[in-house]
Amino acid sequence: MITGMQVKLGRTALGLSVRALAAKTDLTANTINRFENGSDAKGSTIQKLQNYLEEAGIEFIPENGGGLGVRFKK
Protein backbone atom coordinates (compact mmCIF):
# COMPACT_ATOMS: atom_id res chain seq x y z
CA MET A 1 0.00 0.00 0.00
CA ILE A 2 1.29 3.48 -0.83
CA THR A 3 2.02 6.12 1.79
CA GLY A 4 0.95 9.72 2.19
CA MET A 5 4.48 10.86 1.41
CA GLN A 6 4.38 8.98 -1.90
CA VAL A 7 1.09 10.68 -2.76
CA LYS A 8 2.60 14.06 -1.96
CA LEU A 9 5.70 13.33 -4.05
CA GLY A 10 3.62 12.07 -6.98
CA ARG A 11 1.22 15.00 -6.80
CA THR A 12 4.11 17.46 -6.68
CA ALA A 13 5.88 15.75 -9.60
CA LEU A 14 2.74 16.25 -11.68
CA GLY A 15 2.47 19.88 -10.61
CA LEU A 16 -0.90 19.38 -8.94
CA SER A 17 -2.18 21.24 -5.91
CA VAL A 18 -4.06 19.35 -3.22
CA ARG A 19 -7.30 20.94 -4.45
CA ALA A 20 -6.62 19.90 -8.04
CA LEU A 21 -5.93 16.30 -6.99
CA ALA A 22 -9.07 16.34 -4.85
CA ALA A 23 -11.16 17.45 -7.81
CA LYS A 24 -9.70 14.73 -10.04
CA THR A 25 -10.29 11.96 -7.49
CA ASP A 26 -13.65 13.05 -6.02
CA LEU A 27 -12.05 13.34 -2.57
CA THR A 28 -11.85 16.36 -0.31
CA ALA A 29 -8.69 18.43 0.00
CA ASN A 30 -8.82 17.87 3.77
CA THR A 31 -8.78 14.09 3.31
CA ILE A 32 -5.74 14.30 1.04
CA ASN A 33 -3.96 16.74 3.38
CA ARG A 34 -4.54 14.48 6.37
CA PHE A 35 -3.24 11.42 4.52
CA GLU A 36 -0.19 13.25 3.18
CA ASN A 37 0.58 14.42 6.71
CA GLY A 38 0.56 10.92 8.17
CA SER A 39 -3.02 10.19 9.21
CA ASP A 40 -4.68 6.93 8.31
CA ALA A 41 -7.07 6.76 5.36
CA LYS A 42 -9.63 4.27 4.13
CA GLY A 43 -8.41 1.68 1.67
CA SER A 44 -10.83 3.01 -0.95
CA THR A 45 -9.39 6.51 -0.55
CA ILE A 46 -5.83 5.29 -0.98
CA GLN A 47 -6.86 3.24 -4.00
CA LYS A 48 -8.47 6.26 -5.68
CA LEU A 49 -5.30 8.28 -5.17
CA GLN A 50 -3.06 5.48 -6.40
CA ASN A 51 -5.20 4.79 -9.46
CA TYR A 52 -5.29 8.43 -10.52
CA LEU A 53 -1.57 9.04 -10.00
CA GLU A 54 -0.61 5.85 -11.85
CA GLU A 55 -2.88 6.74 -14.77
CA ALA A 56 -1.24 10.18 -14.82
CA GLY A 57 2.19 8.59 -15.25
CA ILE A 58 3.52 8.07 -11.73
CA GLU A 59 5.10 4.77 -10.71
CA PHE A 60 5.31 3.92 -7.02
CA ILE A 61 8.57 2.38 -5.84
CA PRO A 62 8.33 -0.02 -2.90
CA GLU A 63 10.86 0.00 -0.12
CA ASN A 64 13.81 -1.96 -1.46
CA GLY A 65 16.63 -1.00 0.84
CA GLY A 66 16.71 2.55 -0.50
CA GLY A 67 13.34 3.62 0.83
CA LEU A 68 9.93 4.30 -0.65
CA GLY A 69 9.62 6.64 -3.59
CA VAL A 70 7.99 7.60 -6.87
CA ARG A 71 9.16 8.14 -10.42
CA PHE A 72 7.70 8.83 -13.82
CA LYS A 73 6.82 5.75 -15.86
CA LYS A 74 8.93 5.20 -18.94
Three-state DSSP state, 16: coil
Query: How confident is the model at residue 64, as a pLDDT?
Result: 77
4-72 folds as: 434 Repressor (Amino-terminal Domain) (1.10.260)
User: Does the CA dihedral 32-1-38-14 come out positive or negative?
Assistant: negative
Asked if pLDDT for residue 28 goes beyond 90, the answer is yes
Q: How confident is the model at residue 74 (pLDDT cuts 50, 70, 90)?
A: confident
Q: Are 2 and 70 in contact (CB under 8 A)?
A: no
Asked if pLDDT for residue 20 goes beyond 90, the answer is yes
Query: How confident is the model at residue 21, as a pLDDT?
Result: 98
